[in-house]
A and B are shown apart, each in its own frame.
Chain A
Amino acid sequence: MFDIDKWQEIFSTIKKNRLRTFLTGFSVAWGIFMLIILLGSGKGLENGIHSNFDNDAANSIWIYPGQTSKSYNGIQPGKYVRFTNADYERLKKDHIAIQRISSRYDIRGNDIISYKNEYGSFGVNTIHPDMEFIENSFPIEGRFINNIDIKKLRKVAVIGDLVRDALCKNGESPIGNYIKISGVPFKVVGIYSENSNNDGERRRIYIPISTAQMVFTGANSVNNIALTVKDMTAKQSSQFEETLKSTFASSHNFDKDDDRAIFIQNNQENLKEFQNAFQGIRLFIWVIGIGTIIAGIVGVSNIMLIVVKERTKEIGVRKAIGATPWSIVGSIIQESILITSFAGYIGLVLGVFLMEIIAKNIPADSMMFKNPEIDIKVAISATILLIISGTFAGYIPARRAAKIKPVEALRDE
């Protein structure tokens, strides 16, 4: 219950020792300030690195063909592995763990795109519809490539929002109009965007792979295959990677232990490793931060012990005129909580304020540091930690004060 008299008593003693109270509070404020800075910076670093994974789905696996480095079944090393539509169909049919799958074929020398009288150089990716979810390229207008486009070999295109901005100078929507890729008109059916730091991801044009193979190459070649897997642990994902290797080794006739025959980029495995590393970093930050706070708390406790020592006679007088041990314990603990909470709160506010300034001054395309925000849960935890710490800091001195015998305290000089 709020007891104004008790608080007036506490403020009187704090007012009496302003400098000492300030110095005591400073150590706690510094501890919390450092904890907030460490946590905020850690989060900023984590967000920055995590944003690099946002280009693609976190559970995506990318498979690229290579060149064999081991002899196998009488075939000398150095054979080029070439993917075709059959690889795509096989994976799609045989592996139930696959959630989404798309093959991709890159058109060489066709990156000059025209739209009415405007020209630009953009990457053209030929894909299956699932690439929308593998690349996280979601339509903001119109639609994405669909299975009917693939089946009917439609000449349709989905363009990135930066492509639109570059080609449509007067702000018109290009949907329903035609762009020319290598002189071949493709109808724009959608505009996509990505939540990515990398502008290159938004400066691409997607067209159906079947159409591209027919129009530009006449072959069934595939440059790479991308897929996402159903929920897996890092270990399961790693095992699945081995299964994929075996599948390709058997269909393309190479040693499954040949590391150069195909290359697999497993984003899920990379993300898990990154997350594990950051869990360790977070733990480290908390240990360091709490260590700093503990140093502050020990300081408060020491100062409170000195306060009790200095106030021995006063405590004796108070006991002689009727103070109960609890009223003495209560006032010392409350004083300790007040100093730690108030000072800690100032440290918290200053830390958050500094993090806000840093956040506003980080370049938007920073790949390493992004949004160094402080979670509200962290702020609440820090506040609770402060109150608990204040109680601990005050408890030992308060117990000592409560045990002071009035007759001995009155003799104290």
Chain B
Amino acid sequence: MIELKGLHKSYITGNNKLHVLKGFDLTIEQGELVSIMGSSGSGKSTLLNILGILDSYDEGYYKLNNTLMSNLTEKKAAHYRNNMLGFVFQSFNLISFKNAVENVALPLYYQGVNRKKRNKIALEYLDRMGLKNWAEHMPNELSGGQKQRVAIARAMISKPKVILADEPTGALDSTTSIEVMNLFREINKTGITMIIVTHEQDISEETDRIIYLKDGIIESEYSPKQLINV
């Protein structure tokens, strides 16, 4: 599903070159629930941005569904982001002047689905998130947990192969974090690959596979189940 080989990424800041990812190899199969952990500057957000085709890489290759994600035009990249990927952000990133149902429906707008149809579908997804009665509410009228559920519904609406979540529980309290993780598990059971960047140990332990990054390389990876068995 996802295949990374010898991935390098550097940033130039002034006269300095910051080598963030240093020859990365990683394979993630369809339907996996993976968490990526690491300290600040370890390269986990950079990795997530490359996986989300939000950023480019310098060397190596990245294949998504056996397609090389390299030298893509902006239009092609937009197509992959819209059809193959879903994003969940720490700060929700809902559009402030659109209500919940319009926010959820937005990816379908870019697919050319008409307003009536996409709002109907968006309402179904909000219903699955338990937010049907909040469909007409603006983001500033929703709690943190509700906002994140709206964002998850938005990530799911275009039936992506992969959902990428960047610190999805970072802005939530512990109870809401557990609810969100339960939602991720349910989504994952439908066959969608979930990749979650987090620095919270208890969140990562809810996933099937934990990948630890340090200084741009994979330091270790294991399954929490294995840990329990040990």
Interface, chain A (partner B; CB < 8 A): 4-5, 8-9, 12-13, 15-16, 313-314, 317-327, 402, 405-407, 410
Contact = CB atoms under 8 A, between A and B. Distances in A.
B158 A410 contact: no
Contacts of B95: 314, 317-318
Contact of B93 (A8, A13, A317): A317
Nearest to A15: B97
Q: Enumerate the 4 nearest inter-chain pairs by beta-carbon distance, A residue then B residue, closest first.
A: A322-B82, A322-B110, A407-B54, A407-B55
B117 to A, nearest CB: 11
B87 A321 contact: yes
Nearest to A403: B74
B106 interface: yes
Contacts of B83: 322
A349 to B, nearest CB: 30
Contact of B158 (A4, A319, A320, A322): A322
A410 B78 contact: no
A286 B200 CA distance: 67
Contacts of B89: 410
A7 B164 CA distance: 31
Contacts of A16: 96-97
A4 B81 contact: no
Contacts of B158: 322
B216 interface: no
Contacts of A325: 74-75, 78
B43 interface: no
B217 to A, nearest CB: 21
Q: Most B CB atoms within 10 A — which of A4, A15, A317, A326?
A: A317
Given A317-B93, A322-B83, A322-B110, A8 B115 contact: yes
Q: Most B CB atoms within 10 A — which of A12, A15, A405, A407?
A: A407
A12 B55 CA distance: 29
Contacts of A406: 54
Nearest to A6: B109
Interface in B86-105: 87, 89, 93, 95-98
24 contacts: A4-B115, A5-B114, A12-B97, A13-B97, A16-B96, A16-B97, A317-B95, A318-B95, A319-B54, A319-B78, A320-B87, A320-B93, A321-B106, A321-B107, A321-B110, A321-B154, A322-B78, A322-B83, A325-B78, A406-B54, A407-B49, A407-B54, A407-B55, A410-B93
B82 A313 contact: no
A321 B78 CA distance: 8
Interface string B68-83: 0000001100110111
Contacts of B114: 5
A4 B116 CA distance: 12
Given A320-B87, A322-B110, 8 more contacts: A8-B115, A317-B95, A318-B95, A322-B82, A323-B78, A325-B74, A405-B54, A407-B54
Contact of A319 (B81, B98, B109): B81
A319 B109 CA distance: 12
A318 B87 CA distance: 11
Contacts of A318: 95, 106, 110
B93 A313 contact: yes
Nearest to A12: B97
Q: Most B CB atoms within 10 A — which of A8, A313, A320, A324?
A: A320
Contacts of B154: 321
B115 A327 contact: no
B140 interface: no
A411 to B, nearest CB: 10
Contacts of A317: 93, 95
Nearest to B108: A322
B220 to A, nearest CB: 27
Interface in B156-176: 158
A13 B95 CA distance: 11
A321 B110 CA distance: 8
Nearest to A319: B78
A351 B164 CA distance: 56
Contact of B110 (A4, A12, A324, A402): A324
Contacts of A323: 78, 110
B10 interface: no
Contact of A320 (B52, B79, B111, B115): B52
A315 B109 CA distance: 14
A325 B76 CA distance: 10
B123 to A, nearest CB: 17
Contacts of A313: 93
Nearest to A8: B115
Contacts of B75: 324-326
Contacts of A319: 54, 78, 81
Nearest to A311: B95
Contacts of A320: 52, 54, 81, 87, 93
A408 to B, nearest CB: 9
Given A321-B81, A321-B82, A322-B158, A5 B93 contact: no
B106 to A, nearest CB: 6
A184 B55 CA distance: 106
Nearest to A323: B110
